[in-house]
Amino acid sequence: MSILLDLPFELRALIIEYVLYTPLSPPVTPLESEAMEYHDLEYRAWQGGGGKAYYHKSQSKTTFLNCLSLLLTNRQISTETRVILGNKNGKVNYVLDVSVKNDLDVFLTWLSVPCLTTHVSTLYADVRVFGHIIEKRTVRNQLGDGGRLGFHWLFYAALERFLRYGPVGEKKRKGENEAKPPRYGYGGNIQEFEDRGMLIDTLVLDFSSAETELTFPPEDIGYRHWWCRHWGRDRLPRDQGVIPENLSSYTSRPEWLCEYLRGWISGLLAMSYHTSSYGMPLYEQIGTIRILVDGQLHTEFDLAARLAGLRFTGPHSTMGHLSSDQREAGCAKWKEQTLRRREAQGFPVKEAASDDEQGWGESTDAGMI
């Protein structure tokens, strides 16, 4: 320890940063036996469609111990570690492995976890696709009032938890041995913890395939087949053909999940009557969203331009979570506050659009063919 303390602070800081921020290796394959669900908040995301979001136990524990050991070494190292972790002006990145299994379950593993920082430069999510295309009988259990309860809502739940608490393990109160049961909108008695208000300059979703046994479908099976399967349809639009019965014997192409998430995120950002409450945190706490396939840029969402283009067109266009007489004033207040907030946080901002530009909720793109 004396050797470490004898080093100049600049070198010691590099060592501490290396311990804290060097990403670990992701799990070879997602295993439910090595993961757990977190039920320490009431998620807004719809999670009732059969799919689950799991967090890898041992990896999260390892990254936490990397930080804890530095905090407990001695007073000087602890102070310097806290300074590095709390440096909001630094280029701090988080790395998250997201394994999607069978187009249904999502397994999340934090590969680098700076535990105290609340404003991060980049949250990089490496989205790896495993297993087979979702089966027809599974899709039937996911269709209901309001659309499909699919893997996209599990993505939102993971992001929602990060924006609230950050990259930490399950939060339990003193003396609490077991997590309370999940609550999906009704019933239950979850008492939530105080929000940390995480901020993300750039959110990156990079889609790739990690399946080693199953093959991609033949070239004549495309995104339109996969999309129709996810929406419980047996035929393509305009009777262009049927969905192959053996579709689930193949693995999904990563660009299909990418395109589906791209369209769904675009729908949330449109701030329609039903999606505005889900789109608001994206504008408030994220500067830019980029979507990649195999490391190559697919889509970049200009949140500043989208926010500037939003305008109120009627009580049925947006803010369905508010009473009808409060929606117009609520829209104006939220937009003004969000513009000021983004500017204060250093996020990109643009001047508000004129009345003849884009309206609230006009975009309904949801990754459809």
- What 3-state class would DSSP assign to 180? coil
Q: Residue 146's pLDDT is what?
A: 56
Q: Given pLDDT bands bounded at 50, 70 and 90, which one contains residue 97?
A: very high
φ/ψ of residue 96, rounded to 5: -125, 130
Distance CA 289, CA 300 (A): 6
User: Percent of the chain scored above 90 by pLDDT?
Assistant: 42
Could you give the C-alpha distances from 82 to 71, 85, 90, in angstroms and in order? 8, 5, 13
- What 3-state class would DSSP assign to 287? strand
Q: How many CA atoms lie within 13 A of 273 on its CB side?
A: 8
The answer to whether the CB of 255 falls within 8 A of the CB of 143 is no
Q: Given pLDDT bands bounded at 50, 70 and 90, which one contains residue 179?
A: very low
pLDDT digits (tens, 9 = 90+) for 250-274: 999 999 999 999 999 999 999 998 8
Strand partners, 109: 97
Question: What are the DSSP calls for 89-138, one per residue?
Answer: TS--EEEEEEEEETTTEEEEEEEE--SS-SEEEEEEEEEEEESPPPPHHH
The residues, any chain, with a CB within 8 Å of residue 191's CB and separated by 6 or more, are: 173
Q: What is the mean pLDDT of residues 288-295?
A: 98
Q: Pull the structure tokens for residue 214.
A: 């199953």
- Top pLDDT among 115 and 196 is at 196
Q: What is the mean pLDDT of residues 342-368?
A: 67
Q: Is the pLDDT of residue 185 over 50?
A: no
Q: Residue 358's pLDDT is what?
A: 47
φ/ψ of residue 310, rounded to 5: -75, 135
Q: Is the pLDDT of residue 248 over 80?
A: yes
Q: Given pLDDT bands bounded at 50, 70 and 90, which one contains residue 147?
A: low
Give the position of tokens 């979702």: 134
- Which among 321, 315, 312 has a CA at the least distance from the CA of 360? 312
Q: Is the pLDDT of residue 351 over 80?
A: no
* Mean of all residue pLDDT scores within the chain: 83
Q: Residue 66's pLDDT is what?
A: 61
Least confident among 23-32, 263-272, 336-345: 23-32
What ranges in the chain are assigned the alpha helix state H? 2-6, 9-21, 57-73, 75-85, 136-140, 151-165, 223-230, 254-269, 276-285, 303-309, 327-345
- Which among 24, 95, 85 has a CA at the least distance from the CA of 58? 24
Q: Pull the structure tokens for residue 287.
A: 């500067």
Least confident among 12-26, 146-160, 170-184, 255-269: 170-184
Q: Residue 81's pLDDT is what?
A: 81
The residues, any chain, with a CB within 8 Å of residue 102's CB and separated by 6 or more, are: 130, 131, 132, 133, 134, 135, 138
